Amino acid sequence: MTWQSFGRWLAVLMLLGGCACCCGSAGPIGFAPDLADTDVVGTWTSEEGARLVLRADHTFSTHSLGDCADADGDHAPGTDGEGLWTLDEPELLNPYQQLNLAYHPYGEMLQNWGAQDDEIVYVFGDTDSGGVCFFTRDETGSR
C-alpha cells in the first residue's frame, strides 16, 4: 500500500467517524442489526418506569412515557396509547432500526423510536437538545 492510498483510506475513515459524531450517533458505524419482528416482541421498560408493549399481531401499547425526562428535566410528550407498529429495514450509518408506532385513531407516527438487539430507544424533544429514554426487555413481562 502506498502512502497516497493510505491517506485516502484514512480520510474516508475520519469522514465516517466525523459523520457519526456530528449526527449524534454514539453507536458503531455500519448497518443496524437486522432484526426480525419477533426479535422486538415483548414488554420493554425504562429506568424511569415507562413501558412499551409490542405484540406479535403488530399492536402496541405505551404507558407512562411522560415519566421520561431530558437532561434539563423536561418530560417527554406522550401518554398512554395504543396502535400498530412496524419495523423498518436496517440503514447504513444508523445503529438502530427504525421502529414506527402509529397511534389509534390517527395513524400518525409522532415519535422517534429505534431498536437494537437488547434495547429500544425513544428520542423526544428538540433535535439539538432533546431527550433519550432507553428501554430494556422486561424479563418478567409477557413476550
- 64-85 per-position pLDDT tens digit: 988 888 777 777 776 688 999 9
Report the C-alpha gap between 95 and 52 in whole angstroms: 20
Select 31-137's CATH number: 3.40.50, 3.30.230, 1.10.4100, 2.40.128: 2.40.128
If one compares 143 and 119, the residue with the highest pLDDT of the two is 119
Q: Are 68 and 50 in contact (CB under 8 A)?
A: yes
Quickly state the pLDDT bin for 19 (edges 50, 70, 90): very low
pLDDT at 135: 95
What does the block give as the cell for 35? 432484526
CA 91, distance to chain mean position in Å, is: 13
Is the whole model's pTM more than 0.85, yes or no? no
Torsions phi, psi of 61, nearest 5?
-145, 145
Quickly state the pLDDT bin for 25 (edges 50, 70, 90): very low
pLDDT digits (tens, 9 = 90+) for 28-69: 456 668 899 999 999 999 999 999 999 999 999 999 988 888
Phi/psi region, residue 58 (left: phi>0; alpha: psi -120 to 50; beta: rest), is left
**Domain assignments of the chain as residue spans, ordered by start:** 1-30, 31-137
Average pLDDT across the chain, whole number = 78
Report the C-alpha gap between 96 and 32 in whole angstroms: 5
Residue 86 neighbours by CB distance under 10 Å: 12
